[in-house]
Structure 1
């Protein structure tokens, strides 16, 4: 009889512990930038809207996303390649900032970085 009580208690304890782990997972999913990804944010300290990419040889425009992404204010690059923010000017594209592989910045400090409709973020050897 004693074993049944211990088994019931242990079963309840494991269910409670499992419930705690299950509720902690969604909070962790919104945490730091995952391995092998680059994350750009439109607020300081890795906050605000986030764009996440795992590509190592492609470009995207931050302004093409359905939500209103502001400008690139902070980033975390966990890719094995650099990413470059390309700004569009009258005479074509110019590299405005390199987001180095393994690098991060909680406040880039460049006004309007990636904020215009044709601006691009290109990873690896890709170019606009």
Structure 2
């Protein structure tokens, strides 16, 4: 290798060493895994901050008990690894449930950014054919 080439390689290596900290991207926040037989709901996008997980295929839960209702940030991402759908429901505030599902998550469904109104403002999640009025009155 001639002198010019050695000098160029040395300068390049030095520049990479000095500037390496600037060029290195910060580590991405790791997503939290969801087991193959669970429904997992997250308070953050990109499958971070898992607040709820279940293997139960016929039950209902208040999302507020898991920091996932409209008073928090709602469901921002989800994975449904159950064999049944998960249904989101809205409580209309006068001791009645809306009889139409707010949103559904199909078996195998997932979203890393589900921050739409129906996901951020739902008040209960049910799995399978369970209905919130059968559980909460």
The secondary structure found in structure 2 opposite 1:101 is coil
Aligned residues of 2:32 and 2:48 also touching (Cα < 8 A): no
Q: Give ranges in structure 1 of 5+ residues lacking alignment.
A: 1-29
- What's the TM-score, normalizing by structure 2? 0.61
CA deviations 1:75-128 (Å, max 9, x no partner) are 000000000010112563231110110110001131363546xx2100001001
The yes-or-no answer on 1:92 pairing with 2:93 is: no
* Structure ranking higher in strand proportion: 1
Aligned residues of 2:32 and 2:50 also touching (Cα < 8 A): no
Among 107, 111, 116, which residue is 2:113 paired with?
107
Q: Quick check: which has more Rg, 1 or 2?
A: 2
Q: Give the match for residue 27 of structure 2.
A: none
Following the alignment from structure 2 to structure 1, what is the Cα–Cα distance between the partners of residues 126 and 36? Answer: 18
The worse-fitting range, judged by mean Cα deviation, of 47-56 and 83-92 is: 83-92
Aligned-pair RMSD on alpha carbons? 2.1
Following the alignment from structure 1 to structure 2, what is the Cα–Cα distance between the partners of residues 61 and 83? Answer: 13
- What's the TM-score, normalizing by structure 1? 0.65
The secondary structure found in structure 1 opposite 2:117 is coil
